[in-house]
Amino acid sequence: MNEQIRNIVIAILGTALVIGGIAWLSRPGSQNAAPTEWSAGALEARESFFDFGTISMAAGKVSYPFVIKNTSPQLVTITKLFTSCMCTVALLDYNGKKIGPFGMQGHGVIPNISETLLPGEQARVVITFDPAAHGPSGVGAIRRIVTVETNSQTKPKVEISFGANVTP
């Protein structure tokens, strides 16, 4: 009888943990939450690709600031920023604030952002690439992507990317 009660208690606790986890992940502000207010506006990147050329692992990290602009007459809110690889981090530089750094989605929590750009306003997405992150096997041509998610109905994502030829 005690074994049966113990199994029931374990089943109840397991169910409670699963339900609690689902509730926690679906709460407002969780990393998968959709914007609560959509915008008809859109952000544009001044340039969508930058080529670092040939860079050496031994020389260390390299950075580049991409400029994004609200080209619409509507407010646009940046909701998330993430990279395509753990060798790259990005931060949002807006109104004197540096928000981040943000890394690769799926490798740790990517927190939500809530920075609203007025019509005509600009921000910078500063990317930093570590050519030594992949070790000796990381030589050769690379291309990485940084994604800026917004509350725009017309263009919810802005992707910027960079490339390089990594040498030892």
Within-domain flag for 36: no
Within-domain flag for 37: no
Quick: pLDDT tens for 141-155: 999 999 999 999 999
Based on the fold, state whether residues 112 and 74 are members of the same structural domain: yes
Within-domain flag for 105: yes
Based on the fold, state whether residues 122 and 156 are members of the same structural domain: yes
Within-domain flag for 143: yes
pLDDT of residue 110: 86
pLDDT of residue 159: 97
Say which residue, 133 or 106, is predicted with more confidence: 133
Angle at 109 between CA 22 and CA 138, to 5 degrees: 135
Eight-state DSSP code of residue 9: H
pLDDT of residue 63: 98
Within-domain flag for 38: no
Quick: pLDDT tens for 26-83: 444 444 444 568 888 899 999 999 999 999 999 999 999 999 999 999 999 999 999 9
- Residues 151, 86 contacting (CB under 8 angstroms): no
Based on the fold, state whether residues 73 and 17 are members of the same structural domain: no
The pTM of the full predicted model, rounded to 2 decimals, is: 0.76
What is the average per-residue pLDDT within 81-100? 95
Based on the fold, state whether residues 76 and 133 are members of the same structural domain: yes
Based on the fold, state whether residues 51 and 117 are members of the same structural domain: yes
Instruction: Show contacts of 32-35: CB within 8 Å, 24+ apart.
Output: 33/112, 35/77, 35/79, 35/150, 35/151
Distance CA 18, CA 44 (A): 40
Distance CA 77, CA 115 (A): 5
144 token code pair: 């990485």
Kindly tell me the burial class for residue 29, based on how many C-beta atoms sit within 10 Å of its own C-beta (0-12, 13-18, 19 or more): exposed
Distance CA 122, CA 66 (A): 10
Based on the fold, state whether residues 8 and 53 are members of the same structural domain: no
Nearest by Cα to 147 from 109, 122, 110 = 110
- Ranges assigned E (strand) in 62-156: 62-70, 76-83, 88-94, 97-102, 115-117, 122-129, 140-150
Q: Which domain holds residue 66?
A: 43-167
38 token code pair: 């959509």
